[in-house]
Amino acid sequence: MKRIALIGMPNTGKSTFFNRLTGASAKIGNWPGITVELLSAKIMEGSEMVEIVDLPGIYNLHGFSEDEKVARHFIENADLDLLVVIGNASQMDRQLGLVLQLQELNLPMVLLLNMHDEAQQHGIKIDTDRLTSELGTPVTLMSAKYSQGIKQARELIRESLSKEKDSTAKEKDTFTDDVKLETKLDHLMSKCVNVPIELSGGLTDKLDKVLLHPWFGLPLFFLAILLMFEVVYTIGTPLQDGIAWLLNVILESQIAHVIDSFNPVVQSFLIEGIYNGVGTVLSFLPIIVMFFLCMAVVEDSGYLARAAFLMDAFMSKLGLDGRSFVMQLMGFGCNVPALMGTRVMRSRGLRLLTMMIIPFSLCSARLQVFVFLTTAIFSPQAAPLVLFTLYIASFGAAFLTAAIYRNRLPNSEPLLLELPPYRFPTWQQMLLHGWRETWYFIREASGYILLGVVLVWFLTHYPFDAVPASSETLAGKIADVFAPVFEPLGMDKLMTVVLIFGFVAKEIVLGAMAVIYAVDPDNLAGVVANTTTWIQAYSFMLFVLIYTPCLSTVAVLKQESKSWSFTAIAVAWPLFLAWLTSFVFYQAATYLFGS
C-alpha cells in the first residue's frame, strides 16, 4: 500500500482538501494550528489502496514547536511514496520558502496551490507551467473549499504515484544557508508570480475596522456570542420538545406493551434506568447540533483568530496569549482536542498554564446540563441570559486560575498570530462541522452515558425492597456521607450523587437526573422545576461548570503534561474553586433573595 503525506503551512486548507480527497471529516477551521494530531484515511486510487496522512501545519521545516517536530519526524522516518504540499496561492512569497526546504528531502513531491479563488480576487497571477519547470515539481491550482481543481489535483497525484521513486528523485538545488534560499525564492517570485503593487483588502479590511476596534471589538464579540445563544434556544428548543414527545410516544405505544409482563424491577431498570436516562440525553441533541452549527460560522469565518488578537493584551497580563483564548474556545466542543491543540506552543510554562484553564470551558456535555436546567427553571426570555452568564463565569474561573498560577508557570514565548481573511463557510462545511461534533459527542459519550445511568439506577434502587432514591438505598447512604459538604451549596442528597457520577463524565449528569427522578424526558423538566429553586439550580450549574474535569480530560492532561503532580493540581484546584464559588453564591443569594 502506498502512502501520501499532506503538508503545508497552517491555514492553507490541508484538512479541507483531505476531506475532499478521502470523504473523511477532519476538523477544519479558519485559524492557524487546527490539525492537532495525525489524521489518516485510506482510499482506492486506480487498482491499489493508498493511505493519506494529514500532517500538522508547519511554518518551517526546522521549527521547534511540538507540531513541527511531529511533522518533521514523520516525513523523515515514514516510508512515503509522495509528499503533497498544500500552499496558499494568495501568499506565494511565504509558501515557496517551505516548498524549497521540503525539496531538500529529495522526496517525490507535488505542489497544490489552494485558495486560487482568493488569489484571483486579489489580482494575483501564477504561471504554473513556468513554476513547474523552475521547481522540477508538478504544480496545479485549486480551491478545495468550492471543489474547484480537485479533479486535476487527483490526476496529478495519481500520475506522480505511478512513477517509480528513482525516476523522480533527481538532483535538486540544496539550500545550506538562508541567503541561497532567499535568492532562489526571489527568482521564483519574479519569474512565476505576478502580484499587483497594491493588494485590495476588500471585505476583510472593512470588517476589521469595526470588529478589531480597540474599544468596540471585544463588546461586539461577546454580543455575537450572546446572539448565538439566542439563536440556539430559539431554533433548538422546539426541536428538543419534538424529540422528547417522540420518545414518549415510542415508550407508550411500543416499549411499554412489550415489557408489560416483565418483573417490576426489570421494568423499572429498562424504562426508568436505560430508556429515560439515555432518552433525556438524546432529546437535547438538537440544541447541541444548533450550537455547533453556530460555532462553525464563528470558527470557519476567521472570527476566532480576531478574538485571539483582541484578547492577547489582556491574556498577556495573566501569563497567557491570544492562542490560549482560542484553545479555551475550542474547548466548547470538547476539552480533549483543545488540550491537544496546545502542542503549537513552544513554551512549556505557557502550554501548562493554558492546559489548566481549558477544562473550565463550557463543553458540549456541560452545555446539555445547562440548557436543560435553564429551560426548566427560567423563563424563555431569561434562559439565554442565564446561559450567557455561565459562559462569562467560565472565563472568570479561567482568568482567576491563570492569575494565581502565572508565576509558577512562566512564559517567555512571544505571540506570532496570523489573521486569515474572512472566509464564510459553505453550507456543506457548516453541516459537516455540526455532524462531526455531534457524532463525536455520541460516539465518545454513549458508553459513559449507558454505564452511568445503569449505575445510578442500581444505586438508587438497591436494595430493591426500599423506596427508590430513599436514604435506605446505596445512593442515599453515599449522599449521607457527603451531605455536610454539599448542603451548604443548596444541593440535596440526590443531586450530590449526580455530581459524583459527573466526575466520570459530565454526559452522565442529565441521564442520572432522569433516573433519580424516575420520569421520562417529556416530564423531567416539570419535576425538577417543582423541586428546585432558581438559586439551587444556579449553584448546581456553577459547580458543574467549574469542578474537576471528566476522566478522559484528566487522562489527556497527564498524557500531554507528562507530570503526575501537575495533573493532581489540575484536578484538585477546580474542585476547591467550584465548592467555594457555589458556596459564596448560594449563601449570598439566599441571604439577599430568600430560599
**Are residues 588 and 550 part of one domain?**
yes
Residue 139 confidence (pLDDT): 93
Residue 475 confidence (pLDDT): 79
**Are residues 331 and 462 part of one domain?**
yes
**Are residues 173 and 229 part of one domain?**
no
- Cα–Cα distance between 149 and 591 in angstroms, integer? 66
Q: Where are the alpha helices (DSSP H) in 331-426?
A: 335-340, 348-357, 364-377, 383-405
CA torsion sign for 436, 438, 444, 446 is negative
Give domain status of residue 208, yes or no.
no
- Cα–Cα distance between 475 and 471 in angstroms, integer? 7
Residue 444 confidence (pLDDT): 61
**Are residues 157 and 234 part of one domain?**
no
Q: Are 462 and 473 in contact (CB under 8 A)?
A: yes
Residue 170 confidence (pLDDT): 46
Domain boundary among 161, 194, 227: 194
Domain boundary among 159, 194, 229: 194
Give domain status of residue 202, yes or no.
no
**Are residues 178 and 231 part of one domain?**
no
**Are residues 358 and 301 part of one domain?**
yes
**Are residues 140 and 14 part of one domain?**
yes
Give domain status of residue 200, yes or no.
no
**Are residues 435 and 474 part of one domain?**
yes
Give domain status of residue 488, yes or no.
yes
Give domain status of residue 210, yes or no.
no
Lookup: cell for 301: 469565518
**Are residues 396 and 265 part of one domain?**
yes
**Are residues 236 and 184 part of one domain?**
no
> Is residue 49 within a helix (H) or strand (E), and if so which, with residue range?
strand 48-54
- Cα–Cα distance between 90 and 126 in angstroms, integer? 10
- Cα–Cα distance between 23 and 26 in angstroms, integer? 9
Give domain status of residue 201, yes or no.
no
Give domain status of residue 205, yes or no.
no
- Cα–Cα distance between 177 and 185 in angstroms, integer? 13
**Are residues 99 and 188 part of one domain?**
yes
Domain boundary among 160, 194, 228: 194
Could you tell me which of 106, 100, 103, 85 has the C-alpha nearest to residue 9?
A: 85
Q: Confirm whether pTM is higher than 0.75.
A: no
**Are residues 232 and 131 part of one domain?**
no
The count of structural domains within the chain is 2
Q: Pairing between strand 82-88 and 125-126?
A: unpaired
Q: Are 312 and 415 in contact (CB under 8 A)?
A: yes
Residue 45 confidence (pLDDT): 74
Alpha-carbon distances, residue 490 vs 351, 485, 511 (angstroms): 36, 10, 21
CATH number of the domain enclosing 100 = 3.40.50.300
Per-residue pLDDT of the chain (595 residues; tens, 9 = 90+): 888 889 988 878 888 888 888 876 555 554 455 555 567 888 877 677 888 888 888 888 776 666 677 778 888 888 888 999 999 998 888 889 889 888 888 889 999 999 888 888 878 899 999 999 999 999 999 998 888 898 899 889 888 888 765 544 444 555 556 677 788 888 898 889 888 876 555 677 788 888 888 888 888 887 887 787 778 768 877 887 788 788 888 877 888 788 887 888 888 788 776 777 677 667 767 776 777 777 777 777 777 778 778 888 788 888 888 778 877 877 776 677 677 767 667 778 888 999 999 999 887 778 878 888 888 888 888 888 898 899 889 989 999 999 999 988 887 766 666 677 777 777 777 777 677 767 766 766 566 667 767 777 787 788 888 777 677 888 778 888 888 889 999 988 778 877 877 776 676 777 777 777 777 666 777 888 888 899 999 999 999 999 877 777 887 788 788 889 999 999 999 999 999 999 999 999 999 987 6
Range of the domain at 306: 217-411+420-593
Give domain status of residue 546, yes or no.
yes
